[in-house]
C-alpha cells in the first residue's frame, strides 16, 4: 500500500508542474482532494485495512494529503502573482533569481597591468607600437641581418615579403627612439606572433612587455638592479634572479634571467623541470648598431633593454600548466582569477 501512496505523490508533483492556469489547478485539486478524489479513495481503503496496518497507512495518507495541499497552495500563489503582474503563466516567482552575469578583467590584462604598475613606480612610462610590422622594424633595425640564422627562432606570419606580424615587442624600441631623444625610459606591452607548433607551452599568439632605458652612463648594474627589484615586487621579497649569458642580436652582452622556482625553492620539481629555476625574460645592453639605426650616438649614450613573457609570469604565479587556456575564452578557466 505504501508504494502506491508514494507513486501517487510523485504523479501529483508531475501533474502540478504541468498546471498552467487556475482552471487546471482547480481540476487537479478536485481530482486529488474532491469528494470522489484520490485521497478520499485512500481513506476508504484505510477503513477496510487490517487493524495492524492502519496506523502506518493513516500516517502515510495524511502526509500525502499535506503534500497535495501545500503544492496546490504554492501553485495558486504563483499563478495569481503571474496574473497580477501580467507575467506568463509558467513563470514561478518563488524560484531564486538569476544574477546578472558580471564580467571581469582577463587574467592576462590583470597581470600585465600589475607589471606595468611596478615599472611605472620605477619611473618608466608606457609606449606602444603596431602588431603588423615591417621587416625593417622587427628585424633589420634590431641588428638581425637578412638571411641571418638568428631569425630562425622567430618565424612568423607574413603579409608579404616586407610586412609581417611582429614576433616580439622589441620593434617598439626602435620606433620610440626614432621619434624621441634620449633619455628614454619606457615599457611597451603588447601582442606578438610566431609560427609555432602549438602545444602546452607554445602559442602562436602571446603577450610580451618590452623595457628600454637609455641615458648617458647606464650600466649592466642598472639592468640587474631594476629587474631584481621587479622580481621582488611581483613574486615577493624573497624572489631571487639569476642571469645566464645568452644571444640576442640587438643587445651585447645579452642574458636570460631565471627566477628561483616558486614551487620548490630551488630543489628541482616538475614545474621547473628539475632545474630549480624558471626562465623569465631576455635582457641585455642595447647594441651600438641599434643606436646607429635610430640616429643615437653610441659613444654618448648606453642603455639596457628587456623582454618579459606575460603568459609565463601568469603561469608561474598561478600554477597554470597550459598556455592555450589563456585565449580559449572558457569562462570556467577565466572566472577562477
Ligand atoms: N625580443 C626577445 C624575444 O622575443 C626578448 C628580448 C631579449 C627583449 C632581450 C629584449 C632584450 O629587449 O634585451 O625573444
pLDDT at 90 over 80: no
Cα(324) to centroid(ligand 1), Å: 22
Q: Residue 1 — very low, low, confident or very high, per pLDDT cuts 50/70/90?
A: low
Domain ranges of the chain: 2-86, 107-334
Residue nearest to atom 10 of ligand 1 (CA): 306
CA 299–ligand 1 middle distance (angstroms): 23
Do residues 159 and 132 lie in contact, with contact meaning Cβ atoms separated by under 8 Å? Answer: yes
Over residues 275-299, the pLDDT tens digits come to 999 888 999 999 999 999 999 999 9
174 in contact with ligand 1, CB cutoff 6 A? no
Q: Are 150 and 249 in contact (CB under 8 A)?
A: yes
Instruction: Specify the pLDDT at position 234.
Output: 93
Cα of 307 from ligand 1 centre, angstroms: 4
Residue nearest to atom 5 of ligand 1 (CA): 307
Q: What's the pLDDT at 261?
A: 82
Q: How many CA atoms lie within 13 A of 125 on its CB side?
A: 6
- Mean pLDDT to the nearest integer, 309-333: 91
Asked whether 193 lines ligand 1 (CB < 6 A), one says no
Encode pLDDT of 191-212 as tens digits.
999 999 998 888 999 999 999 9
Geometric angle at alpha carbon 39, from 36 and 41, rounded to 5°: 55
Question: How far is the centre of ligand 1, averaged over its atoms, from the C-alpha of 297 (Å)?
Answer: 22
**306: Cβ below 6 Å to ligand 1?**
yes
Mean pLDDT for 140-165 is 93
Decide: 170 in ligand 1 pocket, CB within 6 A: yes
**Atom of ligand 1 minimally distant from the CA of 250:** 13
Cell of 177: 627612439
pLDDT score for 192: 98
- How many whole angstroms separate alpha carbon 62 and alpha carbon 99? 39
- Rounded Cα distance between 164 and 187, Å, is 22
Q: Which atom of ligand 1 is nearest to the CA of 286?
A: 13
Take atom 2 of ligand 1 and give the residue whose Cα is closest: 307
**Test site for ligand 1: of 282, 284, 309, most ligand atoms within 8 A of the Cβ:** 282
Length of the chain measured in residues: 337
Pocket test for ligand 1, best of 248, 253, 254, 288 (most atoms within 8 A of CB): 248
Q: Which residue has the cell 634571467?
A: 257
Instruction: Using the atom order of ligand 1, give the atom closest to the CA of residue 251.
Output: 13
Q: CA torsion sign, 119 to 122 to 128 to 133?
A: negative
Looking at residue 270, its pLDDT comes to 78
Q: How many CA atoms lie within 13 A of 314 on its CB side?
A: 26
pTM, entire model:
0.72
Distance CA 251, CA 142 (A): 9
Q: Where are the alpha helices (DSSP H) in the chain?
A: 2-17, 22-33, 38-48, 54-85, 107-121, 135-138, 171-179, 220-235, 288-294, 310-318, 331-334
Q: Is the CB of 309 under 6 A from ligand 1?
A: no
pLDDT at position 319 is 84
Whether 256 and 224 have beta carbons less than 8 Å apart is answered as: no
> Quick check: CB of 283 below 6 Å from ligand 1?
yes
Question: What percent of the chain shows pLDDT beyond 70?
Answer: 99
- How does the average pLDDT of the chain come out, rounded? 92
**83-97, 116-130, 209-223, 251-265: least confidently modelled range:** 83-97
Is the Cβ–Cβ distance between 107 and 326 less than 8 Å?
Answer: yes
> What spacing in Å lies between the alpha carbon of 29 and ligand 1's midpoint?
77
How many angstroms does the Cα of residue 251 sit away from the middle of ligand 1? 8
Nearest residue (by CA) to ligand 1, atom 4, is 168
Q: What are phi and psi of 211, to 5 degrees?
A: -130, 145
Distances (CA, A) of 110 to 32, 130, 224, 324: 60, 21, 25, 17
**Which protein residue has the closest C-alpha to ligand 1 atom 7?**
282
The DSSP secondary-structure symbol of 322 reads -
Cell representation of residue 288: 651600438
**Fold (CATH) for 107-334:** BirA Bifunctional Protein; domain 2 (3.30.930)
Amino acid at each position: 500500500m505504501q508504494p502506491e501512496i508514494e507513486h501517487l505523490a510523485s504523479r501529483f508533483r508531475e501533474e502540478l508542474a504541468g498546471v498552467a492556469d487556475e482552471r487546471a489547478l482547480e481540476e487537479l485539486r478536485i481530482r486529488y482532494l474532491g469528494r470522489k478524489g484520490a485521497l478520499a479513495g485512500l481513506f476508504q481503503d484505510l477503513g477496510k485495512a487490517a487493524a495492524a496496518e492502519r496506523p502506518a497507512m493513516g500516517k502515510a495518507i495524511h502526509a500525502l494529503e499535506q503534500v497535495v495541499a501545500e503544492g496546490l497552495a504554492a501553485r495558486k500563489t504563483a499563478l495569481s502573482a503571474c496574473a497580477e503582474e501580467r507575467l506568463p503563466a509558467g513563470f514561478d516567482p518563488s524560484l531564486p533569481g538569476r544574477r546578472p552575469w558580471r564580467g571581469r578583467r582577463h587574467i592576462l590584462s590583470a597581470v600585465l597591468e600589475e607589471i606595468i604598475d611596478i615599472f611605472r613606480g620605477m619611473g618608466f612610462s608606457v609606449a606602444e607600437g603596431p602588431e603588423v610590422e615591417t621587416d625593417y622594424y622587427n628585424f633589420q633595425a634590431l641588428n638581425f641581418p637578412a638571411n641571418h640564422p638568428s631569425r630562425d627562432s622567430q618565424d612568423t606570419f607574413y603579409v608579404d615579403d616586407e610586412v609581417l606580424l611582429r614576433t616580439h615587442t622589441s620593434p617598439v624600441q626602435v620606433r620610440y627612439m626614432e621619434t624621441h631623444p634620449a633619455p628614454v625610459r619606457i615599457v611597451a606591452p603588447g601582442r606578438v606572433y610566431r609560427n609555432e607548433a602549438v602545444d602546452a607551452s607554445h602559442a602562436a599568439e602571446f603577450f610580451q612587455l618590452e623595457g628600454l632605458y637609455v641615458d648617458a652612463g647606464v650600466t649592466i648594474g642598472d639592468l640587474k638592479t631594476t629587474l631584481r627589484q621587479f622580481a621582488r615586487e611581483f613574486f615577493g621579497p624573497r624572489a631571487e634572479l639569476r642571469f645566464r649569458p645568452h644571444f640576442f642580436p640587438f643587445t651585447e652582452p645579452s642574458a636570460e634571467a631565471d627566477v628561483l622556482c616558486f614551487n620548490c625553492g630551488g630543489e628541482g620539481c616538475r614545474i621547473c623541470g628539475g632545474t630549480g629555476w624558471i626562465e623569465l625574460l631576455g635582457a641585455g645592453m642595447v647594441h651600438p648598431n641599434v643606436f646607429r639605426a635610430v640616429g643615437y650616438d653610441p659613444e654618448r649614450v648606453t642603455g639596457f633593454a628587456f623582454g618579459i613573457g606575460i603568459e609565463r609570469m601568469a603561469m608561474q604565479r598561478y600554477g597554470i600548466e597550459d598556455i592555450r587556456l589563456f585565449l580559449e575564452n572558457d569562462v570556467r578557466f577565466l572566472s577562477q582569477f
